[in-house]
Chain A
Amino acid sequence: MDIPRYWRLKDQRYRLQGRKCKDCGNLSFPPRLVCQKCKSRKSVPHEFKGLGKLYTYTAIYQAPDRFDPMVPYIVGLIDLEEGVRITAQVTDVLPEDVVIGMDLEMVIRKIYADGDKGPILYGYKFRPILKKMTA
């Protein structure tokens, strides 16, 4: 595992931190340094709330080696409340119970472990929302 890269991306992976354009307010995730709307290079970090709906998904049965212990798993395109579409694993649900449009929330899970001796990579995944909080 590339430990320096793993460590540098932790704001993004641990807290869904993207960028907000200082000129037009456009949000991006993964964070982009040049605004896709207005081409501005001025942006500030922005943490997404981690709530969204499943746009579409696929179940993975054949995975790269490092993800192989987890098959079958689900990769989804998720529309965040803030209007940004991201790609993430959908967890805590059996493939046959996944429904397009279902409400999801971000959780932190193990992405993979680098063998028995290497570091464990943690990051965001999404699961069916546990409970809609009104507060």
Chain B
Amino acid sequence: MSEIMKPARDVGIVGYGAYVPVYRLPASEISNQWRSGHDLNFLPIKQKSVPGMDEDVITMSIEASKNALKRAGIHPKDIRAIWVGSESHPYAVKPSGTVVGEVLNIIPNILSADMEFACKAGTEAIQAATAFIGSSMGDYALAIGMDTAQGRPGDALEYTAAAGGAAFIMGPAEKSLAVVEGSFSYVTDTPDFFRRAYQKYPEHGNRFTGEPAYFKHITESVKALLKGLNLKPSDFTAAVFHQPNVKFPQNVAKMLGFSKEQIKYGLLSGMIGNTYAGSSVIGLTDILDHSHAGDRILLASFGSGAGSDAFSLMVTNKIKNAVKKAPLTMDYVDRSISVNYGLYARWRNKIIME
């Protein structure tokens, strides 16, 4: 068994912010469109978020990062790296962080790169930022998990593929509202879900996505983390897992020994869908909005391909002032303009004109 990961210098979250577009597509719209409503009693979620015509991972990352900056209260130029984790970057070549950094006045003395690891690209960015701050290459780094995910029309994934995510400013532990106690990352070659270059929609292995992929990787990363930190599930106030639907995170929580009470905040997929690289991390922002000094939080992502990053976070007394400095995650989740399937298909370029 490998040891847990912990930087040489203690690191934490100095600021955080969420973003979810205002539009919602009810799952019943998809069911009625493709299955004549036959599966209306078995829908994986109630509704999913849909980005407006003028939104993409860059614009959404800008708003989440603005909220993170407000909570961090640092000068933007103190940030020395921007890593954006996503599978839906607007450009194939030109990092999303360049525009985010320009708009937020963070540039030019930074590193910036796009991260990709399906739904765990956001926590991958957090890991990189933790290492970067932990080795004192810089004092602050911006790590983002954000997606505008697409499923093929009529495919099972179309019910849940959604838009949203979160941004985190990582910094020294003494400035943090939540300190990283340790992390553990677990990766294998598991082809449960993938998208080849130039393909618009991903492929997935149906039954292959559950047991050997999602459940296996999350339980491995979390068990190793708990063992390494000598902690048990009851030592945590709250936990959040990647949310491809509502059932999977509930089931993996149960398998690992976490209660319903521990996952009552942050389980947002029923209201906004699966926001891919944004999924587990936007859940974390909702938990932080409801947290208090001394709370311990478990964050465990899952990315197809496959891998999982697990983190243990200890909330500090800086949380109280930080929370109210920016809109809450539920302020974004609760707003909604319903769209029908036709408008959604047009906005998401699902109608090919030529």
Residue B8 CB within 8 A of the other chain: no
Q: Which of B101-117 contact A (CB under 8 A)?
A: 102-103, 105
Partner of A91, one of B54, B63, B99, B331: B54
From the candidates A15, A94, A110, A111, name the one contacting B103 in the complex (CB within 8 A). Answer: A15
**Contact of A55 with B by CB under 8 A:** no
A91 CA to B58 CA, complexed, in Å: 16
For A109, what are the chain B residues with a Cβ–Cβ distance below 8 Å? 52, 54-55, 59
A14 contacts B102, C-beta separation under 8 Å: yes
Cβ-neighbour of A125 out of B54, B58, B105 (below 8 A):
B54
Residue of A nearest to B91 (CB): A120
Distance between A109 CB and nearest chain B CB, rounded to angstroms? 4
Minimum distance in angstroms from B325 CB to a CB of chain A = 6
Flag if A70 contacts B332 (CB, 8 Å).
no
Measured between beta carbons, the chain B residues less than 8 angstroms from A125 are: 54
A110-B327 in contact given A120-B90, A125-B54 (Cβ < 8 Å): no
Binary CB contact string for chain A from 12 to 48 against chain B (1 if under 8 A, 0 otherwise): 0011000000000000000000000000000000000
Cβ-neighbour of A122 out of B22, B58, B325, B328 (below 8 A): B58
> B327 touching A130 by the CB < 8 A rule?
yes
The count of chain B contact residues (Cβ–Cβ below 8 Å) is: 25
Q: Would you call B56 an interface residue if the criterion is a C-beta within 8 Å of the partner chain's C-beta atoms?
A: yes
Contact call A135/B55, Cβ cutoff below 8 A? no
List residues of A (101-135) whose CB comes within 8 Å of B's CBs: 107-111, 120, 122, 125, 130-131, 133, 135
Nearest A-chain residue to B99, judged by Cβ = A122
Verify if B326 is at the interface (C-beta below 8 Å from A). yes
Across-interface contacts of A131 in B (CB, < 8 A) = 327-328, 331
Residues in A with CB closer than 8 Å to B99 are 122
Q: How far is the CA of A98 from the CA of B62 in the complex (A)?
A: 25
Given contacts A108-B59, A110-B55, A120-B90, contact A10 B102 (CB under 8 A): yes
Instruction: Please tell me which one of the listed residues B56, B63, B91, B327 contacts residue A107 in the complex, with CB atoms under 8 A apart.
Output: B63
Q: Confirm or deny: B197 has a beta carbon within 8 angstroms of a beta carbon on chain A.
A: no
A2 at the interface (CB under 8 A from B): no
In contact, B53 and A70 (Cβ under 8 angstroms): yes
A1 → chain B closest CB, angstroms: 14
In angstroms, Cα B54 to Cα A10, docked, is 17
Chain B contacts of A133 at CB under 8 A? 325-327
Contact A135 B59 (CB under 8 A): no
Closest A residue to B337 by CB, please name it: A94
A65 touches B (CB below 8 Å): no
What B residues does A91 contact at CB under 8 A? 52, 54
Structural contact, B325 and A135, CB atoms closer than 8 A: yes
Known contacts: A108-B62, A131-B327. The answer to whether A70 contacts B103 by CB under 8 A is: no
* Contact yes or no, A130 B90, CB < 8 A: no
The chain B residue sitting closest to A108, CB to CB, is: B62
Chain A minimum-CB-distance residue to B53: A70
The verdict on B9 contacting chain A, using a C-beta distance below 8 Å, is no
CA distance in complex: A93, B336 (Å):
10
What separation, in Å, do the CA atoms of A93 and B53 have in the docked complex? 12
Most buried by A among B55, B331, B332: B55
Cβ contacts under 8 Å, B55 to chain A: 109-110
Q: Could you list 14 A-B pairs, sorted by A, with CB under 8 Å?
A: A10-B102, A14-B102, A14-B103, A15-B103, A15-B105, A69-B53, A89-B54, A92-B337, A107-B63, A109-B54, A110-B54, A110-B56, A122-B103, A130-B327
Known: A108-B62, A122-B58, A131-B331. 9 other contacts (CB 8 A): A10-B102, A15-B105, A70-B54, A109-B54, A110-B59, A120-B90, A120-B91, A131-B328, A133-B327
